[in-house]
């Protein structure tokens, strides 16, 4: 199908990949950091006491040390490796539920959390009798502290709020929300899904008093197959998968050592020249957003603007056209994006995040998510801004939505 479409339309003069929410390129330095651990060194089991096992363990341990240092975690042993951010979220939510199943209380999440938080929380409600409350958000996706406080009480045992929303880039007031929660119940456990914040915002788990925090490798251009969960000392959670233990009790099995080595390099690259990297992404984000808004009529920005938005996130609703049609049209022009929610893009249901901020179904279905990185250039943005208006115009001319 793809080859036939390309034959009909011709090869695009340039390719620009903006689908970094779903996954993306792995820099050459990261690939090179992984390669030795497939067959040169450290290809053994990291818990085995021989040279190759020790080499593997060294990768796991030094990566823990590095990740811990970037979030001010008190001890590298507080970092648990999983195989994805989804697994880390499940370990946080379900692991808490298993540890506290005899005293089920209230769980608070926001209405726009990632499904890997919402769905495990609903399982705890179904199986153990926890009560899950979804806090509504503003039209820009913010959890207002005064609304959160109204939901919070002494029966609340677990809170899970994202640092940054994965679809619309809203930066939540986590420090303020943690303080409200712990003032009302000092024993509450506060989980933060930081998959879309890590490497783009400064995070200090000690200062903010976060109990559990999720990180994902591929969200910082590391390899897929690695996630991490920070667990504050003294936080009661239990493992949710069972098997032969490796170097960590909460996630049994053999660690993905080559991927962890790649994750380590990706962390190094993300935090090297951190401020410059973030400033570049923010500049490209604003350039792309302004270019679309100035050159395409009938568009809506999903989420906030300025410093309250993640530096890499652009989410635009193109009215009068389907998002799936846009992703295909853009693709033929060499621009790669995702429509609606990255996690529901192959389903007919609109994004729960966009519906929660008040978008109508047709607005949600016509929304496109772009994410920029430090590897993009102004030339990439200019090409996208040049190609997007005629693509939207062509589709609007034939769109059934426009003609309704």
pLDDT one-digit tens code per residue, 48-59? 889 999 999 999
pLDDT tens for 260-306 read 999 999 999 999 999 999 999 999 999 999 999 999 999 999 999 99
- CA proximity to 394, closest of 316, 315, 328: 328
pLDDT for position 404: 45
State the Cα angle at 301 between 214 and 195, rounded to 5°.
Answer: 5
Distance CA 112, CA 141 (A): 7
pLDDT-derived band at 341 (thresholds 50, 70, 90) equals: very low
pLDDT for position 65: 98
Residue 241: Cβ-neighbour burial (10 angstroms; 0-12, 13-18, 19+):
middle
Which residue bears the tokens 């935090």? 271
Cα-Cα-Cα-Cα torsion 266, 269, 275, 281, nearest 10 degrees, comes to -70
Q: Which of helix, strand or coil describes residue 145?
A: helix
Q: Which DSSP category does 308 fall into?
A: G
CB 71 within 8 A of CB 230: yes
pLDDT for position 300: 97
Q: Percent of the chain beyond pLDDT 90?
A: 90
Number of residues that this document lists for the chain: 404
Q: At residue 194, does pLDDT exceed 90?
A: yes
**Span 94-114, average pLDDT:** 97
Q: Which domains does the chain have, with CATH numbers?
A: 2-20+274-398 (3.90.1150.10), 28-271 (3.40.640.10)
| 170-196 core/surface letters (b: 16 or more CB in 10 A; e: else) | bbbbbeebbebbbeebeebbbbbbbbb
Q: At residue 27, does pLDDT exceed 70?
A: yes
Distance CA 355, CA 346 (A): 17
**Span 307-334, average pLDDT:** 96
Residue 83: how many other CB atoms lie within 10 Å: 17
pLDDT-derived band at 244 (thresholds 50, 70, 90) equals: confident
Query: What's the pTM?
Result: 0.94
Mean pLDDT, all residues of the chain: 94
CB 214 within 8 A of CB 204: no
Residue 403: Cβ-neighbour burial (10 angstroms; 0-12, 13-18, 19+):
exposed
HSE toward the beta carbon, residue 97, CA cutoff 13 A: 25
pLDDT for position 403: 42
Q: At residue 177, does pLDDT exceed 50?
A: yes
**Span 43-50, average pLDDT:** 91
> 139 to each of 142, 143, 176, 339, 356, how far by Cα in Å?
8, 10, 20, 19, 8
pLDDT for position 4: 61
Q: At residue 348, does pLDDT exceed 80?
A: no
- CA proximity to 224, closest of 199, 258, 190, 201: 258
CB 123 within 8 A of CB 151: no
Indicate which residues carry an active-site annotation: 343
Residue 290: how many other CB atoms lie within 10 Å: 13
Residue 201: Cβ-neighbour burial (10 angstroms; 0-12, 13-18, 19+):
middle
> 392 to each of 148, 213, 227, how far by Cα in Å?
39, 39, 37
Lowest mean pLDDT among 6-15, 100-109, 155-164, 385-394: 6-15
Distance CA 120, CA 99 (A): 14
Which residue bears the tokens 């991490």? 228
Q: At residue 344, does pLDDT exceed 60?
A: no
pLDDT for position 284: 98
Q: Which two tokens stand for residue 201?
A: 């915002």
**Span 307-333, average pLDDT:** 96
> Does 159 or 343 have the greater pLDDT score?
159
Q: Which DSSP category does 156 fall into?
A: E
Q: At residue 205, does pLDDT exceed 50?
A: yes
**Can you say how many angstroms the Cα of residue 294 is from the centroid of all Cα atoms in its chain?**
28
**Span 376-383, average pLDDT:** 98
Q: At residue 213, does pLDDT exceed 70?
A: yes
Q: Which of helix, strand or coil describes residue 370?
A: strand
Q: Which two tokens stand for residue 250?
A: 């909460």
Q: Max Cα separation, the chain?
A: 70
Q: At residue 345, does pLDDT exceed 60?
A: no
pLDDT-derived band at 224 (thresholds 50, 70, 90) equals: very high
């Amino acid at each position: 199908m793809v080859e036939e479409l390309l034959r009909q339309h011709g090869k695009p003069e340039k390719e620009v990949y903006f689908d970094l929410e779903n996954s993306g390129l792995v820099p050459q330095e990261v690939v090179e950091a992984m390669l030795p651990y497939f067959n040169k060194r450290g290809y053994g089991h990291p818990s085995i006491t021989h040279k190759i096992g020790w080499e593997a363990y060294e990768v796991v341990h030094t990566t823990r040390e590095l990740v811990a240092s970037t979030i001010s975690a008190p001890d590298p042993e507080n970092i648990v490796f999983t195989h994805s951010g989804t697994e880390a979220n499940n370990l946080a939510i379900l692991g808490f539920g298993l540890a506290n199943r005899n005293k089920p209380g209230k769980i608070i999440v926001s209405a726009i959390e990632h499904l890997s938080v919402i769905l495990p929380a609903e399982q705890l409600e179904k199986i153990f009798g926890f009560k899950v409350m979804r806090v509504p958000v503003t039209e820009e996706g913010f959890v207002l502290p005064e609304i959160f406080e109204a939901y919070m009480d002494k029966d609340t045992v677990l809170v899970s709020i994202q640092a940054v929303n994965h679809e619309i880039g809203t930066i939540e007031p986590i420090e303020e929300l943690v303080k409200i929660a712990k003032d009302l119940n000092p024993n509450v456990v506060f989980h933060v899904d930081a998959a879309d914040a890590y490497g783009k915002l400064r995070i200090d788990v000690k200062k903010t008093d976060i109990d559990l925090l999720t990180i994902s490798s591929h969200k910082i251009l590391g390899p897929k197959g690695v996630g991490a969960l920070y667990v504050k000392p003294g936080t009661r959670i239990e493992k949710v998968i069972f098997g032969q233990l490796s170097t960590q009790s909460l996630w049994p099995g053999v660690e993905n050592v080559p991927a962890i080595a790649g994750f380590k390099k990706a962390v190094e690259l993300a935090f090297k020249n951190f401020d410059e990297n973030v400033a570049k992404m923010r500049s490209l984000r604003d350039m792309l957003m302004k270019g679309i808004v100035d050159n395409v009529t009938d568009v809506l920005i999903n989420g906030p603007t300025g410093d309250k938005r993640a530096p890499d996130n652009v989410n635009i609703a193109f009215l009068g056209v389907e998002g799936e049609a846009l992703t295909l049209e853009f693709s033929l022009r060499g621009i790669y994006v995702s429509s609606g929610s990255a996690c529901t893009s192959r389903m007919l249901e609109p994004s729960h995040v966009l519906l929660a901020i008040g978008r109508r179904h047709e607005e949600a279905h016509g929304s496109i998510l772009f994410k920029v990185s430090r590897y993009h250039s102004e030339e990439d943005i200019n090409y996208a801004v040049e190609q997007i208006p005629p693509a939207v115009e062509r589709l609007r001319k034939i769109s059934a939505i426009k003609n309704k």
